[in-house]
Chains A and B, each alone.
Chain A
C-alpha cells in the first residue's frame, strides 16, 4: 500500500474510473441487466435440481414409512391361516415336485384339512 500512498494521483484515477462507471448510458445498462438475468437464469434449474435428490429421498422415506405403519396396524384383527407341516410349507419349487411325486406327501396333501383342524385344536388347548 506504501506504493499507492506515494502515488496520490492514484486516488484521482480511482475517482475518474468511478465516474466513468457511473456514467454508462442507458442502452449499455440495459444490456448489462440482460446479461445478468441470463447468467442468473442458468442457475435456477441447477438450484432446483440440487433439491431433487433429497426431496425425492424424503418423499420415498415418507411413503415407505406410511406403508410400514399401515401394514403394521392392519393385520391385528385378521384371522390367521393354520401353519402347514414343514414338508408342506416349504416354498422352494422342489417341494411342489415332492408333493406330487412322493406317496407320503400326496397323502399328507389329501389330509390337509385334518392337519389344519389338529393345529387349531392344539392352539385352543394352549390358549
Chain B
C-alpha cells in the first residue's frame, strides 16, 4: 500500500510517500535536472559530509505517481519529527545557522535553496539537518534569493521576539505556520531594535518594503531592479548570519539557580538512590524509543539514553529548562537525546491544511517506554486532570510506562496546594492504582529511596 505523506503536498518538485513502512521521496520529472545538478556539482557530497543534508540512496522502486516521475530516493529515516514551535531559542538559532550555511555552500557551487522553511530542518543525530533533498535549484546569474522573506519569517523574526520581548512569543510559530509576518514582528519589537543593523535592516526596513509593495503590480516593477550580483548575494547571506548570531537568548537567572540546585541535589544520597532505582528499572526494559515527559533539564533523559541505548525525546514545558538541556546535549555531543518544548496540558495538536500537515504530539508516537518522573502532581493537581483521564492518555503515548507516584504528603505537592483549596479527594495511591489497572498491568512497584514516592512500571494491556 502506498500512502502519500501530507506534509509535502505543496512542492511540485516531488513528495514523500510511505510504502510497507518505508519512507521514500518521489522526484518529479520537472525537477530531475536540478536534482542531477545537486549530485554533479558535488554539493550533495559536501553537505552530507558536513552533516547538513540527510543522506539518501536511489532505489528501484516504482514512483507513487509514475505519470510524472521515474525516480525514487530513500532518505535515511529521521527518528522523531519536531516542529520549530517545539524548539528552544538555541535550537531555532542552530537551525537558522545551518540553513544559511547550506545556502552559502550551495551558492559556491552555483546552486541555491528554493525555500528556507524551518520545517525542512530536523534534528538528526543531534544536529540540525536539511531533510528536503529537493530544495536545491541552479542559480542563474543575477537571481535573488527567493526564500529571503521566508527565512526572515521562519527564523529571524521569532528569534528576535524571543530575545527582545518574551521567550513565550516563540509559540506564535504554532499559529503562524509560514512564519511570523514581518509587520507583526516589527510592531511587537521594542523601538531600539531598529538601531541594531541586522534587525533594523532585515526585519524593520524589510517589513516596510513589504508594506510598500503589497499592492503594487508585480509586472510593473522593472525586472532589472530585482537582479542581484553574486557578490551582493554573498553579502546578504553573511549579513543574515551575523544578525542570527546576535539573537543569543539567555535563560532567566532563576532557571540557572534551579539548574545548579538540581545538579547539586543529584549528588545527595536521596537522589543517588533514585538514580540507582531508575537505572535498574530501565535496564530491564528493552527500548528503541523513549519519551521523557516533564523532563526538566533532561538528567533522566540522558540516563535513559545511556542505560537503554534508545533515542529519547525529552519533553518539557519550560523554555529555560529546554535551553539548558539543549546546551548540555550539545556540549556532550549527545545525539540520542532531543530536548523538546511542549506543555502536556495542551500538547501540540494536528495542524495545517486538513489537520494533516503537522502531526500532533501523540501522532508521532507511541514509543516503547514513557518515563514520567515527578510529573503526575503537576497534571493532576496543577492542571486538575483526573487520574483516570491521565492514565488513559498515557496508554496512547507508550506501551510501557515508568511513572513516579507523588503522594499528597510530598513537599512538592504541599507547595502546589499551599495557594489553593484541596479539591482532590481522589488523589491517593489506591485511586491511582485503580486507574492504572483499567489500562495497564502493574509490573512492579518500588519505594523511591529517601522519599514518600513510589516508582511503578506499567505494561499496557494487549
Real complex partners, A and B? no
Interface residues in chain B, defined as those with a beta carbon under 8 Å from any beta carbon in chain A:
none
Interface residues in chain A, defined as those with a beta carbon under 8 Å from any beta carbon in chain B:
none
